[in-house]
Every structure is written in structure tokens, then in C-alpha cells.
Amino acid sequence: GAGVSQSPRYKVTKRGQDVALRCDPISGHVSLYWYRQALGQGPEFLTYFNYEAQQDKSGLPNDRFSAERPKGSFSTLEIQRTEQGDSAMYLCASSLVRNRGPSTDTQYFGPGTRLTVL
Amino acid sequence: GNSVTQMEGPVTLSEEAFLTINCTYTATGYPSLFWYVQYPGEGLQLLLKATKADDKGSNKGFEATYRKETTSFHLEKGSVQVSDSAVYFCALTGYSTLTFGKGTMLLVSP
């Protein structure tokens, strides 16, 4: 079946612009996660949802970053007034079971969106 | 807080050599442990996992055993192939999500 998809795959923007990144999880998956991966580093947690409810946003770096999942299906990660330091790969993952913490359910990752801020 | 430490790469091996990539962790409670692999130009793929102490995860000839006493989850493969060249990430579950190591690049030459 279809895996996690993300769009766009590549995004180049100028400093100060707003961007929106989209994630479509595997159909039927309840939990959706966002991570950020700097070059040469491991992914770092940003936020996650169970259905449409944002459960944990402790990893969002500052209030320029926000995410929503309005109907419990796809999610959008928005970055306002982008800065060069926001350049990274943004990864989305989903898992079948509702994340009640601590989670042992497998997370399936999408291909990522490579964001470059000039 | 939770953390994962992996050996730095790149690890360079000849085909059919034995592979070990070390991973140690710090965590509260009883996390699950994972190895993910990232092939060039692709997303992260789950390679194997273990959910409790002494469990062994295995897949595609790779193995790792959850060692609570040494807080380790080392990845091993008896005979690597060129197609195994990738970046390998060790990870653990925290309360709600994954904490990753920095990754170890593996390069296998013919």
C-alpha cells in the first residue's frame, strides 16, 4: 500500500518568507509525527498528533513554527518568517496505534521535504 | 533526559566483512530500541526493533540485542554487501516519541 507522502520534496525560499509543508500519513494511521534533520545529524522531534489533537509540541523551536492536523488525516507544518537556520530536512512519520506513551508502535517515515532558506 | 550515542563513521568495509555498529543509550523507564536505515536519497526505514531486555531484533541478516545491563543495542551483520551501504540510526522511544543517535555511515566496497 501507499506509504507516508510529503510535499513538496524540495522547497527553496528566501529569508523572511512563510512556508507550509504537507504530510499525508498512511491511511488509517492514528498518530502523526514531525521531525527535523540537520545535515549529518539524526532526526529531532518537533511535534505529534493523535487524530486531530496535538499531543506534544515541546520540540518546536519557537513560535514561528506551528503544525495542525484539522481532520485527523493530513498535517501541515508551517514556518513563518523563515531564517537560514531553518534549512534542514523535515520528516513526517505515522503509526497505526494511538500513542498513549511510552510508545512501542513502529513509526513509518516519509521521504522528507528538503527546505533551503536563502 | 533520553539520549543515544552511536559510534562515529564512516565505517568502511570490504564486501563479506563482519559489521558492528555500537549504540548505547540513556533513558528513564524501559524504552523500546530501534535501528533505522537511510539509503541514499531515500527516507528512513525501520530495520529492526526490540521492546524489552534480552530481546533480539533481526532483519535482512542484521541483528541487535537489547542489553539493559550495559544499556546497549549494538547492530551486527555477519557478511555485509555493497547494497548495505547507507546511514544507520539507533533510536529509542521516550514518553511519546523517538530519540535518535547522530547516525553512522557504512560504506561497503566490492
User: Does any CB of chain B come closer than 8 Å to the CB of residue A56?
Assistant: yes
User: Does any CB of chain B come closer than 8 Å to the CB of residue A110?
Assistant: yes
Q: Which residues of B touch A43 (CB under 8 A)?
A: 44, 89, 98, 100
- pLDDT score for B8: 87
Which carries the bigger pLDDT value, residue A1 or residue B26? B26
- pLDDT score for A103: 58
Average pLDDT by stretches of 10, chain A with 118 residues = 90 98 95 93 93 92 97 95 97 82 75 96
Percentage of residues of chain B with pLDDT beyond 70? 98
What sign results for the dihedral spanned by CA atoms B13, B19, B25, B31?
positive
Q: In this complex, do A48 and B96 lie within 8 Å of one another by their Cβ atoms?
A: yes
Size of interface A-B (CB pairs under 8 A): 64
- Tell me how far apart the alpha carbons of residues B100 and A42 are, in angstroms, rounded to a whole number: 6
When CB atoms are compared, the residue of A101, A106, A111 closest to B96 is: A101
- pLDDT score for A104: 62
Query: Which tens digit of pLDDT belongs to each residue from B67-96?
Result: 999 999 999 999 999 999 999 999 998 766
Count CB neighbours of B58 within 10 A. Answer: 14
What's the pLDDT band for B30 if we cut at 50, 70, 90?
Answer: confident
- Tell me how far apart the alpha carbons of residues A75 and B25 are, in angstroms, rounded to a whole number: 31
- pLDDT score for A15: 97
Percentage of residues of chain B with pLDDT beyond 90? 79
User: Does any CB of chain B come closer than 8 Å to the CB of residue A99?
Assistant: yes
